[in-house]
């Protein structure tokens, strides 16, 4: 299994981006839908996320009433190991709750997960609320960004060029190794971005 872990604060647009990636995976390979599982740990902006995803025929597992880096750690590992044994998917996309620390999740996955070929983390940054969030919850936001292999700066259509430039500089300081893309989940995400996300899992 190749795991793609999506992190980012509440309302940053993770679900919309995950849906875009799921569509891309399926469009790239007609057999991919059977090889793709999405694990939801949050009900986001779209509404009932799992119903939206299931309506498109994706296999969705829900983990609610807690955060997978804290209360639901064992549930996540159990679910993943069960998925590995029964479905054997090529891709597993995990949406974390907005309050999750990716470093804690990665530690548990690496220690207890079975059948995992690779793990990559995508950090979604809310450009519209970036200044506010870094002021209110700096440790959480910095941890989410610093753990990203790919950083998607979302909602770029809602901020000025000057604000975006300042944000990018801040993000790069927190994580110099990550690949940073500017996107708007309201518009189509360029296929080259999803190719890069999937390439990092090879």
Q: What is the mean pLDDT of residues 158-178?
A: 96
pLDDT by residue (tens digit) across 51-96?
545 545 555 665 443 434 444 456 788 888 888 888 888 889 998 8
With contact defined as beta carbons under 8 Å apart, do 84 and 77 qualify?
Answer: no
- pLDDT: is 60 or 196 the higher one? 196
pTM, two decimals, is 0.85
- Identify the pLDDT of residue 66: 40
Mind spelling out the 3-state secondary structure of 134-171? HHHCHHHHHHHHHCCCEEEEECHHHCCHHHHHHHHHHH
CA separation for the pair 10, 24 (Å, rounded) = 24
Work out the mean pLDDT of the chain and round it to a whole number. Answer: 82
Complete domains list, the chain, with CATH: 2-199 (3.40.50.300)
CA separation for the pair 147, 126 (Å, rounded) = 16
CA separation for the pair 35, 18 (Å, rounded) = 15
In this structure, of 1-15, 25-39, 91-105, 120-134, the range with the lowest mean pLDDT score is 25-39
Residue 106 has pLDDT above 70, yes or no: yes
Roughly how many angstroms between the first and final C-alpha of the chain, as a whole number? 11
CA separation for the pair 125, 119 (Å, rounded) = 19
Name the pLDDT band for 151 (thresholds 50, 70, 90).
very high
pLDDT by residue (tens digit) across 16-59?
899 899 888 888 765 555 588 888 775 444 434 455 455 455 55
Which one, of 88, 76, 87, 163, lies nearest residue 125 by Cα? Answer: 163
Residues 6+ apart with CB under 8 A from 111: none
Residue 3 has pLDDT above 50, yes or no: yes
CA separation for the pair 133, 127 (Å, rounded) = 10
């Amino acid at each position: 299994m190749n795991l793609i872990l999506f992190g980012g604060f509440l309302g940053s647009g993770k679900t919309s981006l995950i849906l875009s990636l799921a569509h891309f995976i399926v469009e790239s390979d007609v057999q991919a839908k059977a090889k793709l599982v999405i694990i939801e740990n949050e009900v986001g902006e779209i509404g009932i996320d799992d119903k939206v995803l299931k309506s498109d025929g994706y296999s969705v597992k829900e983990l609610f009433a807690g955060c997978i880096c804290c209360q639901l750690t064992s549930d996540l590992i159990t679910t993943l190991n069960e998925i590995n044994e029964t479905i054997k998917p090529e891709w597993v996309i995990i949406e974390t709750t907005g309050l999750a620390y990716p470093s804690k999740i990665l530690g548990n996955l690496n220690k207890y997960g079975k059948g995992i070929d690779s793990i990559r983390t995508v950090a979604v940054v809310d450009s519209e609320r970036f200044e506010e969030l870094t002021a209110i919850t700096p440790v959480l936001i910095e941890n989410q960004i610093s753990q990203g292999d790919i950083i998607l700066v979302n909602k770029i259509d809602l901020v000025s060029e000057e604000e975006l430039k300042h944000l990018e500089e801040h993000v790069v300081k927190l994580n110099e190794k990550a690949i940073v893309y500017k996107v708007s989940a309201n518009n189509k995400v360029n296929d080259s971005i999803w190719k890069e996300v999937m390439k990092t899992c090879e």
